[in-house]
Amino acid sequence: MVFTRSMTLDDEEFRNAALAAEPLSARTTYESELLEKLKANDADAFDRFVDSYSGDVFSLLYRLTENADDAAELTQETFLNAFRSIGRFRGESGLKTWLFRIAVNESRNRFRWWKRRKRERTISLDAVIGDSEMTLSDVIADRGSSPEDEVLSRERRAALNSALLDLPISFREAVVLVDIEGLSYEETALALDVGIGTVKSRISRGREELRRRLRDS
């Protein structure tokens, strides 16, 4: 399997919109049926599994590693790990959340993300987070600021990129999963194998650190 970032932004937005519009019961049924076939070693099911989730896994790993080649390789390792352990998956979370947990662990173990070289990255501050109408700009904006103060200049965008890379690993994981990938607190807790209270604390401290760094930049 070779994974590359071939999905365009429009493709990804369309897919996410379609998924969000799909009834939860239908998604749950789809995952249940897919899981049953995966555990039966159905080759077609494995192909569907990769097709359905590889884009999301790659996107997460790209944001965490800052390198498309690394993200592609780790995506492959994530799915290989998932294939080997699918028989032990008990359905305590959704398949995507379970894959994100594997991906996070793969990236932690291999790269020690935040100690690596710092390269400028581009994050869309105007992309809507999950099913909400909020953007990352909204999340990190100082609630007491005027609308004019909350308009991020190009320099502040670059400062945010740098600040994200400098966050402690535990804060950055939580911020990326919730504020960029759009996971709920519950899903993020499962992906990181921590309590919901811990996730909320990390998100709060991570956002505050981002605000502080932006004010000082």
Query: Residue 145: what pLDDT?
Result: 53
Considering the domain architecture, whether residues 102 and 26 belong to the same structural domain is answered as yes
**How confident is the model at residue 79, as a pLDDT?**
95
Residue 143 class from Cβ within 10 Å (0-12 exposed, 13-18 middle, 19+ buried)? exposed
Average pLDDT for residues 105-131, to the nearest whole number? 57
Of 115, 144, 162, the residue at which a domain comes to its end is: 115
**109 in the same domain as 24:** yes
User: Residues near 72 by Cβ (< 8 Å), separated by ≥ 6?
Assistant: 2, 3, 4, 5, 58
What is residue 194's predicted lDDT score, i.e. its pLDDT? Answer: 93
Residue 31 domain-assigned (yes or no):
yes
**pLDDT value of position 103:** 94
β-bridge partners, 128: 135
Lowest mean pLDDT among 18-27, 42-51, 71-80: 18-27
Q: Which of 61, 82, 115 is the last residue of a domain?
A: 115
Determine the average pLDDT of the residues in 182-202: 93
Q: Is 145 within a domain?
A: yes
Q: What CATH code is carried by the domain that includes residue 110?
A: 1.10.1740.10
> The domain spanning residue 168 has which CATH number?
1.10.10.10
What does the pLDDT average to over 107-114? 66
Residue 2 falls inside a structural domain:
no
For 52-87, write each residue's pLDDT tens digit.
999 999 988 888 877 788 889 999 999 999 999 998
Would 147 be classed as within a structural domain? yes
**Are 182 and 130 spatial neighbours (Cβ–Cβ below 8 Å)?**
yes
1-15, 140-154, 156-170: least confidently modelled range: 1-15
Residue 179 belongs to a domain: yes
Please tell me whether residues 100 and 165 are part of one structural domain.
Answer: no
Residue 149 covered by a domain: yes
> pLDDT at position 181, please?
86
In a domain, 121, yes or no: no
pTM exceeds 0.85, yes or no: no
Q: Is the pLDDT of residue 112 over 90?
A: no
pLDDT digits (tens, 9 = 90+) for 149-172: 545 456 666 677 778 878 888 898
Q: Domain of residue 206: give its range.
A: 136-216
Whether residues 90 and 14 fall in one domain: yes
- The structure tokens listed for 32 are 């249940």
Which residue is it, tokens 């960029």?
Answer: 180
- CA–CA separation, 129 and 215 (whole Å): 23
Residues 117-132: b if buried by 16+ CB within 10 A, e if exposed: eeeeeeeebeebbbee
